[in-house]
Structure 1
Amino acid sequence: MAKIKPFKAVRPTRDKVSLVAARSYQSYTQDEREARLDHNPFSFLHIINPGYKYHKEISGKERYGLVRNRYLEFKEDDIFVQDEKPCFYIYRVVNREQKVFTGIVAAASTEDYKNNVIKRHEDTIEYREQIFKEYLKTVGFNAEPVLLTYPDSSVIKRVLKSYTETRAEFEFTTTYRDTHYLWLVENTEDIKMIQDEFSKMDAIYIADGHHRSASSFLLGEDLKNSNPNHTGNEAYNAFMSYLIPESELRISEFNRLIKDLNGLSKEQFLLKLDESFRIENRVHELYKPSRKHHFSMYLDGEFYSLHLRKTSYEFTDSLSELDTHILYVTILKPILNIIDLRNDNRIDYGSDKHNVIEMKNRIDSGEFAVGFGLVPVNVEEMKRIADEGLTMPPKSTFIEPKLRSGVTIYEF
């Protein structure tokens, strides 16, 4: 039984939302960040990069306090205003390919996270959880929702349609040519209808944002334990989420790029691969696999197709059927000695619709020795992994949509 709540979002004013909204900090190149910071005083980047005004790199707890100060300055200058009533927020993104994503920004329950009603499929790293928990505790807000997915509901779809056929509160197009829309759901009957539908769901799933949800849960536990008057209704008992139906979730693959062949010659490497795969040299064809358990490989200026020899591989559970896991246990670990997928600096990942060309270019440049392409994971695979209490290897899924930070802000 999933619990979601409306909340009083802090939002940019309508005239400034397009200037405030920002992609995640890491997605910008240094030149892009500097251009936005130089020429746009309203960008959310000024809040999360508070040292910019002092021309100084600031990190750790000192940065957290300054982030809080910049945020309060935006509120004092009426760039941000808080809604008077708790709302759900319908957020729609239409990307440059005219793919439409429509979901609900809401407060999801940390108790649901604890009790595995909100299910996860990725491991998290403890020190990153702790760092982000301390960041949240200091700044007192969350500006980037966790992406959750739920089974398609005709009732919720009908409610959303009744709003999206009206004029949006926000409508703006980014330089990426994505158009963003926001509608407010203030009507108590509509809010209850949405909540009732979610209460019928046994589980909802984290699609993107495992560390953010884990850190929010840890923060809630800290604040609960330090509050003698804890009631369970405090804002820290929830975290901001963007809930989207499974049918609209878009999952792409991450390619794997490896810097060396672990001391093997090209011929020795191919012979070892032959134990687990049927190999075909595609020469200069930009080959992409189209079926599960098929992989592409780029090595020494040529593409290869790799088809798993099922007679030499045993399927035991949902994880063993996952292509990212198969690649790890048959090639990366035993042949290339890539043990720690999160921290080994010999491996890198790429995800983009042009990632085959990008992989080829990075290998041709000599930066990497070999690269592997995979078929994307689908929603059902992701759910099975979560249902069985298993975890995918890192960088198994590149999830869309990606929302802009600073459009809705959750305070606690």
Structure 2
Amino acid sequence: MATIRPFRALRPARDRAGRVSSVPYDVVSIDEARQIAAGNPLSFLRVTRSEIDLPSGTEPYADQVYAKARENFAALREQAPMVEEDSPSLYFYRLRMGAHEQIKKHERTRRDKEDDRTRHIIELGAQTGVVFLTYRSTDEIDRCARAVTADAPLYDFRAEDGVHHTVWKAGTAEAACLVDAFRSIPALYIADGHHRAASAARARAEMRTRGNSNDADAFIAVAFPEIQMQILPYNRTVKDLAGATPEQFLAALRARLPVRDGRPTPRGKGEVSMFLAGKWYAVDLSAAPPADRSRASGLDVALLQQHVLEPHLKMGDVRTDKRIDFIGGARGTAALEAAVNGGKAAVAFAMHPVTIDDLMSIADEGGIMPPKSTWFEPKLRDGLLVHLI
């Protein structure tokens, strides 16, 4: 049974929602965050990536970063202004891009990132980033959602990236309908936000030891039905060829896997597009044996790691190896070409996207997907709804 509960949200004034809300802190670099927030003192990135208001080169986990986040959060609450709801409620969030256990995980987390967000939560006394969940859709939840969206929205704006964001506040009856409907859901699945969820749990435990857990027993989340989820590929670039020339690397790869002239986008599952020395190749992984019989081991990202990155590029743990970079599919394959042609990478790999069925089935098996397997679009905005604890 999935348990959801209303909460008293801290949120920006209606006419400031577009200026306050921001992309999630972990999908942009520090330079990109500075550029986005430039000229906008109300940007929520000043809370979630507060080092943008400190000198360049500041260590991201330094004490002054959290002190600055606390200072900026207090200033934003006053200047935006941010208002706290009088009573708990639930909210319905719609995103439009273009034309249009009870909680199961599928990804490991990095301790340093957990430490960072745990401290951020405790220092601010607030969960500022939402956990992105999915579930197998039901008619009952859809019925409740239609009732909520029949009323006028709380927020309705188009962000600078062209994505349209609309948020409704559920009334008492609609909130009760949603709470009851979710009781029939056997499990929720984390689509994005494993570090936020883990950090919320750690913050709760630490605050309990201090005798002050307040409302930390739950974390702020948004749940979308699986039929509305859009997964894009999560592509890779590698800075060097582990001492090999492009010709040597290509010859070694061809001795192991079928490689032919290709195109920027893979034709389907089992094929990876590789950009090397100004040319696209198609690498066939379909016949490559997986490490074991689990569904996770058969994913293209796992096969790429097993048969290309490890043996030919000497790539161990991609979560910590600084030679690899990950580029979300929203940036397109042109970003991969630019990285290689500009000398920032020696080779790039364009992946075929993982399916939502892969994600849910692997989580049901208790499996773990390889790091950076999924890129969801569009992205939820930080700063629209904050959970004070």
Q: TM-score, normalised by structure 1?
A: 0.86
1:136 aligns with 2:136: no
CA distance 1:22–1:192, change in 2 (3 Å): same
- Give the distance between the partners of 1:53 and 1:367, measured in 2 at CA: 27
Q: In the alignment, is the contact (CA less than 8 A) between 2:33 and 2:52 conserved in 1?
A: no
CA distance 1:51–1:294, change in 2 (3 Å): closer
CA distance 1:154–1:251, change in 2 (3 Å): same
User: How big is each residue's C-alpha offset from its partner over 1:37-92, in whole Å with a ceiling of 9 and x where there is no partner?
Assistant: 4x333322344466777878686333323422332333345701111111101111
User: How big is each residue's C-alpha offset from its partner over 1:257-284, in whole Å with a ceiling of 9 and x where there is no partner?
Assistant: 12222223444323332344222123xx
Show structure 1 runs of 4+ deviating over 6 A: 51-56
- SS of the equivalent of 2:236 reads strand
2:313 aligns with 336
- Give the distance between the partners of 1:212 and 1:396, measured in 2 at CA: 17
TM-aligned CA deviation for residue 209 of structure 1: 0.6
Q: In the alignment, is the contact (CA less than 8 A) between 2:37 and 2:46 conserved in 1?
A: no
1:318 aligns with 2:317: no
1:370 aligns with 2:370: no
1:84 aligns with 86
1:18 aligns with 18
Number of aligned residues:
386
- SS of the equivalent of 1:255 reads strand
1:8 aligns with 8
- Give the distance between the partners of 1:52 and 1:339, measured in 2 at CA: 31
2:196 to 206, 212, 235: 212
Q: In the alignment, is the contact (CA less than 8 A) between 2:153 and 2:166 conserved in 1?
A: yes
User: How big is each residue's C-alpha offset from its partner over 1:222-273, in whole Å with a ceiling of 9 and x where there is no partner?
Assistant: 2233329x7xxx4110010011111111111122212222223444323332
- Equivalent residue letter for 1:74: L
Q: In the alignment, is the contact (CA less than 8 A) between 1:93 and 1:401 conserved in 2?
A: yes
- Equivalent residue letter for 1:295: V
Q: In the alignment, is the contact (CA less than 8 A) between 2:291 and 2:306 conserved in 1?
A: no
Gaps of 5+ in 1: 100-115
1:274 to 232, 236, 254: 254
- Give the distance between the partners of 2:261 and 2:275, measured in 1 at CA: 10
2:232 aligns with 252
TM-aligned CA deviation for residue 329 of structure 1: 0.5
CA distance 1:73–1:279, change in 2 (3 Å): closer
TM-aligned CA deviation for residue 396 of structure 1: 0.9
CA distance 1:350–1:80, change in 2 (3 Å): same
CA distance 1:253–1:50, change in 2 (3 Å): closer
Structure 1 range deviating more: 257-266 or 58-67: 58-67
Structure 1 range deviating more: 347-356 or 290-299: 347-356
1:72 aligns with 74
CA distance 1:303–1:174, change in 2 (3 Å): same
Q: In the alignment, is the contact (CA less than 8 A) between 1:140 and 1:411 conserved in 2?
A: yes
RMSD after superposition: 2.5
1:174 aligns with 2:159: yes
- SS of the equivalent of 2:294 reads coil
Structure 1 range deviating more: 135-144 or 62-71: 62-71
Greater Cα radius of gyration, structure 1 or 2: 1
Q: In the alignment, is the contact (CA less than 8 A) between 1:133 and 1:215 conserved in 2?
A: yes
- SS of the equivalent of 2:312 reads coil
2:333 to 343, 352, 356: 356
Gaps of 5+ in 2: none
